[in-house]
C-alpha cells in the first residue's frame, strides 16, 4: 500500500481530491517503478487538485507534474534499480499518474538522471519551474542577449519560474528588473538579485503598438496584456521568452516590435523536450544554482497538506516554491 493524492470526478464533473491509501496493483503498467522521495506543488497541480482548470484529461488521477526518487524496478535499458531519477512534464499528472504519491510507474523516456551534484530535495525545489526558467535563460542566450546588451525583465517575479529566473540571471551576470504585484516583496526580490522592482500594473493594461525601449530581453510567465507590453518595450534586436499564461492565453499585441525593432518572441515548451535538452538544462542547473539560496525560496509540506496548499497557491498567498515530502 502507498499514499497518494487521488482525484475523482462526479456525475456533475466536479473534481474531488482526497488523500488515499492505494494498492500497488492500482499503479499503471509502465516500464519503470519509482519509489518517490519528493514532489512539488505547482500552479498546474493546484488547478488540477481544485478542479479550477481543465488540467486532468482522465479520472481517476494522481496529480503532480514533478517527482524525484529511486528506481525500484525497471524494464527500460536506460535505468536500473537504485538509480536516482527525476521527472517533469510529459503530461504526467494530467494524462498519466504523477508524483504526488509515494510510488509511481512511468515510461523510461520521461525520466532524467539526477545530476550527482544536485540533492534530491534541491531538484524538487527547482522542479518544473526551475527547469523552465533555465530553458528561458538558454533561449535568450541563443538569441545573443548577453549581459552587456542591457537589463532583463522578469514578470511574475514572486512565482516559481520568476524567482528562480532572477537567481539564474544574476548568477550569469545580468541586470534584472523584476515585475510584481506584491510591493511587500520588494526587498526579497532585491535580495534574490533583482536590481530594480516595478509594479506589474505598469504592464497589465492594453499595450501600445510600440513603447519606449526599456530592456534587452525578458522572461514572461504571465501572457495576455503583460506579454504584449513586454514586447512593446523591448529594445532593438531583443528577445522575449514566453513560458506561461497566468493572466491569460490571449496575446493582444501589435506586429510593430517584431518588424520595426526585430524583436524575437521565443516560445518555451517545457513539457516534451528531448532527453538531450533536458539533461543539458538540468546539468547546468546543478552547476549554476546556489542550493543554499534555493532552499531559502522553498518551504516544505507533507503530502496530507497538499490539498489545502493548492487553494493558498491559487489565491496568490505563496511565494517561491512548495516542495512536498511524500513520505511525511
Q: What is the pLDDT of residue 222?
A: 96
pLDDT, tens only, 198-230: 999 999 999 999 999 999 999 999 999 999 999
Task: Judge contact between 193 and 152, C-beta under 8 A.
Answer: no
Task: For 281, list phi and psi in degrees, rounded to 5.
Answer: -65, -45
pLDDT along the chain (328 residues), means of 10: 96 94 96 98 94 92 97 97 96 96 97 96 95 97 98 93 94 96 89 95 95 98 97 98 93 97 97 93 94 85 96 81 94
> Which residues make Cβ contacts (< 8 Å) with residue 146, sequence separation at least 6?
none
Q: What is the pLDDT of residue 294?
A: 85
> Which residues make Cβ contacts (< 8 Å) with residue 56, sequence separation at least 6?
7, 9, 15, 48, 63, 94
129-267 to CATH, choices 3.40.50.720, 3.40.50.10320, 2.40.10.480, 3.40.50.2000: 3.40.50.720
> What ranges do the domains of the chain cover?
2-114+297-325, 129-267
Task: Judge contact between 326 and 303, C-beta under 8 A.
Answer: yes
pTM reported for the whole predicted model? 0.92
Q: What is the pLDDT of residue 51?
A: 93
CA 276 to chain centre: 19
Helix (H, G, I), strand (E, B) or coil at 322: strand
Task: Judge contact between 287 and 20, C-beta under 8 A.
Answer: no
Q: What is the pLDDT of residue 159?
A: 86
Helix (H, G, I), strand (E, B) or coil at 185: helix
Nearest Cα to Cα of residue 243 among 42, 68, 98: 42
DSSP at 92: B
CATH class entry, domain 2-114+297-325: alpha beta
pLDDT, tens only, 282-314: 999 999 998 888 888 888 999 999 999 999 888
Q: Return the residue matching grid coordinates 516544505.
A: 300
Domain 2-114+297-325 and domain 129-267, same fold? Reply is no
Grid cell for residue 15: 473534481
How big is the chain by its Cα radius of gyration, in Å?
A: 20
| One-character DSSP codes across 238-297 | EEEEE---SSBS-----SHHHHHS--EEEE---SS--HHHHHHHHHHHHHH--HHHHHTT
Q: At what angle do helices 43-50 and 306-314 cross, to 10 degrees?
A: 110
Q: Return the residue matching grid coordinates 525500484.
A: 72
Amino acid at each position: 500500500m502507498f499514499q497518494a493524492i487521488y482525484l475523482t470526478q462526479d456525475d456533475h464533473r466536479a473534481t474531488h481530491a482526497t488523500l488515499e491509501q492505494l494498492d500497488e496493483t492500482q499503479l499503471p503498467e509502465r516500464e519503470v517503478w519509482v519509489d518517490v522521495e519528493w514532489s512539488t506543488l505547482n500552479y498546474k497541480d493546484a488547478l488540477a487538485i481544485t478542479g479550477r482548470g481543465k488540467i486532468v484529461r482522465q479520472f481517476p488521477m494522481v496529480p503532480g507534474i514533478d517527482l524525484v526518487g529511486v528506481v525500484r524496478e525497471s524494464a527500460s535499458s536506460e535505468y536500473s534499480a537504485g538509480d536516482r531519477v527525476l521527472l517533469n512534464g510529459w503530461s504526467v499528472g494530467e494524462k498519466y499518474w504523477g508524483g504526488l504519491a509515494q510510488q509511481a510507474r512511468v515510461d523510461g523516456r520521461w525520466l532524467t538522471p539526477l545530476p550527482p551534484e544536485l540533492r534530491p530535495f534541491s531538484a524538487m525545489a527547482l522542479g518544473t519551474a526551475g527547469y523552465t526558467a533555465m530553458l528561458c535563460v538558454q533561449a535568450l542566450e541563443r538569441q545573443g542577449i548577453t549581459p552587456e546588451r542591457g537589463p532583463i525583465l522578469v514578470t511574475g517575479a514572486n512565482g516559481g519560474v520568476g524567482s528562480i529566473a532572477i537567481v539564474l540571471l544574476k548568477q550569469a551576470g545580468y541586470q534584472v528588473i523584476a515585475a510584481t504585484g506584491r510591493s511587500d516583496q520588494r526587498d526579497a526580490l532585491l535580495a534574490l538579485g533583482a536590481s530594480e522592482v516595478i509594479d506589474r500594473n505598469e504592464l497589465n493594461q492594453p499595450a501600445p503598438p510600440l513603447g519606449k525601449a526599456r530592456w534587452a530581453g525578458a522572461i514572461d510567465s504571465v501572457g495576455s496584456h503583460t506579454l504584449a507590453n513586454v514586447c512593446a518595450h523591448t529594445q532593438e534586436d531583443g528577445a522575449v521568452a514566453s513560458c506561461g499564461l497566468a493572466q491569460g492565453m490571449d496575446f493582444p499585441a501589435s506586429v510593430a516590435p517584431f518588424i520595426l525593432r526585430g524583436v524575437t518572441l521565443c516560445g518555451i515548451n517545457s513539457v516534451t523536450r528531448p532527453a538531450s535538452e533536458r539533461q543539458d538544462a538540468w546539468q547546468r542547473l546543478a552547476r549554476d544554482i546556489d542550493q543554499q539560496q534555493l532552499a531559502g525560496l522553498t518551504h516544505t509540506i507533507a503530502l496530507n497538506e497538499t490539498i489545502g496548499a493548492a487553494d493558498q497557491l491559487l489565491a496568490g498567498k505563496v511565494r517561491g516554491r512548495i516542495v512536498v515530502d511524500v513520505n511525511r
